[in-house]
Amino acid sequence: MTAYFTEGQSDPTVQPVPPSVVERVDAADTTLSNPKRAVLSLGSNLGNRLETLQGAIDALEDTPGVRVKAVSPVYETEPWGVEPGSQPTYFNAVVVLKTTLPPSSLLERAHAVEEAFHRVREERWGARTIDVDIVAYADVHSEDPELTLPHPRAHERAFVLAPWHDVDPEAQLPGHGPVAHLLAGVTREGVAPRADLELQLPE
């Protein structure tokens, strides 16, 4: 087609591409060729907690553009933020991913995984089959309530910091410093390793 147009003339059906679009496409390309590290926290306190955690990990691995690089040990943890004894204990774990998805798409995928495990949202901090939170995405900072990065409560939660430290003792929480230091400053009460249980890194 282009052969029919002599120099200086332009094809009237082809609109010029605005610079803003070029920038967006370039940014997407960069993401594609440059996988980012993301840390996710998984929590379950309803149903078969271990099976659900494993199912969520496998579903993440099945996501195009996501590779699960590390899976933490399992911790059994007292529910945080609710009346003691009002909810079953949680199983918590952390996974480290490499992903070419931008943060917003990773959150969408996290929500899809929650839905697949029939998570019902009735109240904030309510019992749930599975909660998938993005703890950190590279060194991205975001105040957006839809996706706050790093997760606004991760730095004070031993049920996030302990499993994260297990899989990456050198980890840093952007804006808060080394996970090892943060972990030393929070109580581990109610956060017990379950060495008898194991989650599998997908093959």
Q: Does the annotation mark 144 as catalytic?
A: no
140 is an interface residue for ligand A4P by CB under 6 A = no
60/54 Cα distance (integer angstroms): 10
The residues that bridge with 67 in the sheet, in sequence order, are 98
| All residues at 6 or more sequence positions from 80 whose CB lies less than 8 Å from its CB, including other chains | 125, 157, 159
Question: Which whole-number Å values give the CA distances from 83 to 48, 77, 111, 147, in the listed order?
Answer: 22, 14, 26, 27
167/93 Cα distance (integer angstroms): 10
Q: Does the annotation mark 119 as catalytic?
A: yes
Q: Report angle CA 185, 187, 193 to the nearest 5 degrees.
A: 115
Q: Which is nearer to ligand A4P, 79 or 199 (CB)?
A: 79
Q: Does the annotation mark 121 as catalytic?
A: no
Tell which one of 59, 60, 72, 131 touches ligand A4P (CB under 6 A). Answer: 131
Q: Does the annotation mark 196 as catalytic?
A: no
Per-residue string for binding with Mg ion, 42-81, x by CB under 5 A? ----------------------------------------
Which among 17-25, 29-37, 73-81, 174-182 is the span making contact with ligand A4P, rule CB under 6 A?
Answer: 73-81
Q: Which is nearer to ligand A4P, 64 or 81 (CB)?
A: 81
Q: How many residues bind ligand A4P (CB under 6 A)?
A: 22
Tell which one of 38, 46, 54, 131 touches Mg ion (CB under 5 A). Answer: 131
81 is an interface residue for ligand A4P by CB under 6 A = yes
Q: Which residues in 132-161 contact Mg ion (CB under 5 A)? A: 133
192 by DSSP, 3-state: which? strand
Structure tokens at 132: 């998938």
Alpha carbons within 13 angstroms on the beta-carbon side of residue 182 total 24
Tell which one of 140, 148, 172, 188 touches ligand A4P (CB under 6 A). Answer: 148
What, of ligand A4P, Mg ion, none, does residue 134 touch, CB below 5 to 8 Å by kind?
Answer: ligand A4P
Alpha carbons within 13 angstroms on the beta-carbon side of residue 61 total 15
- Tell me which residues are annotated as active site: 119, 128, 131, 133
